[in-house]
Amino acid sequence: MRVGGCHDLPACTRHRRQVIKCTAEAQRSTQSVASQQSLTRWAFEQAECWGKADKQAGGAGGGTTYEALQKADAAWFALRNRQSRSQSSSERPFVRQTATPLPQAAMYDVVMCGGTLGVFLACALQLRGLRVAVVERGPLQGRAQEWNISRKELQEVVEAGVLTEQEAEECIGKEFNPVRAGFRGGEDVWTRDILNLGVRPDKLIAKVRQCFEGAGGQPAAAAVPDTQYFWEAFPAGSGPTDRTTYMFSYMDAQPTRPSLEAMMEDYWRLMPHYQGVELDSLQVQRILFGFFPTYRGSPLQPQFDRLLQVGDASGIQSPLSFGGFGAMTRHLARLTNAVEEALQADALDRHSLGAINAYNPGLSSAWMLQRAMSVRPGQAPDPDFINSLLAQNFAAMQSRGDAVLRPFLQDVLQFGPLTATLFGQVVSDPLFIPQIFKHVGVLPLLDWSRHYAALGAYTVLHGAAPAFKALAGKLPPKQRYRLRRQLDAWEFGSGLDYKP
């Protein structure tokens, strides 16, 4: 895959994130990297020498040391080998319910648990006049990395009042165009203004926190088999020759899945071929890693009264890209209105709050696409199958223009563009369809067809939304709240909230 004045688009969650400084004239080390026992240990030592490995931050992917990698691996091992919840009796209670009244009036209307993305919604709600607190296990700060997003998505934060135009601009570390998506054996797909901003989380979270606190908000401290890899690379804002390179994969939590360190070893072994460089020619500035648990039943429904998951905790992000920041910007205005109206209507029981995280057929439809890009244990597909599938998919979207391609690249599935893409794939290579059935499975495809049909139904229902909006203003608070959440579900579930 070529890497020039462009970057490769992400296809799914990042299992590790590395910032690599490519130096064409770097002096080679006297000892070959390949002769060392562990490429991963070597890379962490390089990052430590560079002086950035000790800068830790919260959130997924916040750890940057080898010790943090081992801790994350231990958590991943426990998840892969966990007992079912019905069998386990030793789990510490995560939420406790009590009928005992509070000893005094509540100090806050909303308490946000987890601040890396939660502070965006917390700030938006605080600006609406609500009393909001943010509880974060560690320091409420962003990491020294870059989040890639489009200018349109960053503008959503400005429109919510969380950032000014100038503050948003100050958080941009890098802006670039064009953008390339390429798959071995397929034609390159070029587009512009998609994930072309490198936003600095350290600056961004600091500015949002400043806005939150300035509005009266309160932060508070709390105590390699069966694997298909994907790659992406972005120009980094730390220097003209610097580059951020990701390797990632989709997989279920089975005991046979590889450890994070094993996958990290694959990263160092394969990355030189992907980037066209030698390991001895690199100066490793920073190494990030993590795993992102997701659930097919997303968005997750609340299990308790007065407790609502938002951000990554709600599972609202796409199972294809796991773009938590992009998902938060997309849903920020909707969530702000919904939480404010829930408080006004006293609709705080778990069933009422569940309407905020309602069924989303677009999100559910994306799960089949993720399955098509993963390899199940014991499965041995043709090595070129997934590349061929993605190449055909992107070729079909590109041939139908930006109206089809751009929503998909920004994690939005719409019935019309999805149907056009599927039809295009069938027409272009009908003999490839049986291979898809074999790889994905008939039953998962039948299950996906339910969500595909619901995506079409939500598209039609959203067309009738204006009549229902007029009715909502005449209803009592709780009925108005429920109707507006249904209208939100049709709009966002059909993907028709997307504006080019």
pLDDT band at 257 (very low <50, low <70, confident <90, very high): confident
pLDDT attached to residue 159: 94
Give the whole-number percent of the chain exceeding pLDDT 90.
38
Tens-place pLDDT, residues 127-184: 999 999 998 877 788 877 888 999 999 999 999 999 999 999 999 999 999 988 888 8
DSSP letters spanning 14-46: -SEEEEEEE-TTPPPPSS-GGGSS-HHHHHHHH
Do 327 and 149 meet the contact criterion of CB atoms below 8 Å apart? Answer: no
Give the pTM.
0.72
Tens-place pLDDT, residues 352-363: 999 999 999 999
pLDDT attached to residue 378: 75
DSSP 3-state of 411: coil
pLDDT band at 221 (very low <50, low <70, confident <90, very high): low
Determine, yes or no, domain membership for 248: yes
E strand intervals along 370-459 = none
Give the structural domain span for 158: 1-25+39-80+107-293
Most confident of 57-61, 347-351, 366-370, 432-436: 347-351
Indicate the Cα dihedral angle 156, 142, 181, 189, nearest 10°: 20
DSSP letters spanning 133-200: EEEESS-S---SS-EEE-HHHHHHHHHTTSS-HHHHHHTEEEE---EEE--TTS--EEESSSS-EEE-
DSSP 3-state of 427: helix
DSSP 3-state of 215: coil
pLDDT attached to residue 62: 61
Determine, yes or no, domain membership for 225: yes
Strand pairing category for 189-191 and 179-181:
antiparallel
pLDDT attached to residue 282: 87
Residues 6+ apart with CB under 8 A from 47: 53, 64, 284, 285, 286, 287
Number of domains in the chain: 1
- What's the whole-number mean pLDDT along residues 402-406? 92
- What's the whole-number mean pLDDT along residues 475-486? 96
Determine, yes or no, domain membership for 423: no
Whether the pLDDT of residue 207 is over 60: the answer is yes
Do 188 and 181 meet the contact criterion of CB atoms below 8 Å apart? Answer: yes
Q: Range with the lowest mean pLDDT among 216-230, 305-319, 446-460?
A: 216-230
pLDDT band at 26 (very low <50, low <70, confident <90, very high): very low
pLDDT band at 126 (very low <50, low <70, confident <90, very high): very high
Whether the pLDDT of residue 196 is over 80: the answer is yes
pLDDT band at 86 (very low <50, low <70, confident <90, very high): very low
pLDDT band at 19 (very low <50, low <70, confident <90, very high): very low
pLDDT attached to residue 254: 84
pLDDT attached to residue 30: 34
pLDDT attached to residue 418: 94
Give the whole-number percent of the chain exceeding pLDDT 70.
86
Tens-place pLDDT, residues 406-451: 999 888 999 999 999 999 888 988 988 898 888 888 898 999 999 9
Which has the higher per-residue pLDDT, 98 or 24? 98
Q: Range with the lowest mean pLDDT among 5-14, 255-264, 272-281?
A: 5-14
pLDDT attached to residue 320: 81
Determine, yes or no, domain membership for 449: no
Tens-place pLDDT, residues 293-335: 877 888 999 999 999 999 888 888 888 877 788 889 999 999 9
- What's the whole-number mean pLDDT along residues 226-242? 86
Residues 6+ apart with CB under 8 A from 487: 462, 465, 468, 469, 472
Determine, yes or no, domain membership for 461: no
Determine, yes or no, domain membership for 336: no
DSSP 3-state of 304: coil
Q: What is the mean pLDDT of the chain?
A: 83
Tens-place pLDDT, residues 29-43: 434 554 556 888 888
pLDDT attached to residue 45: 82
Other Cβ atoms less than 10 A from the Cβ of 415: the count is: 22
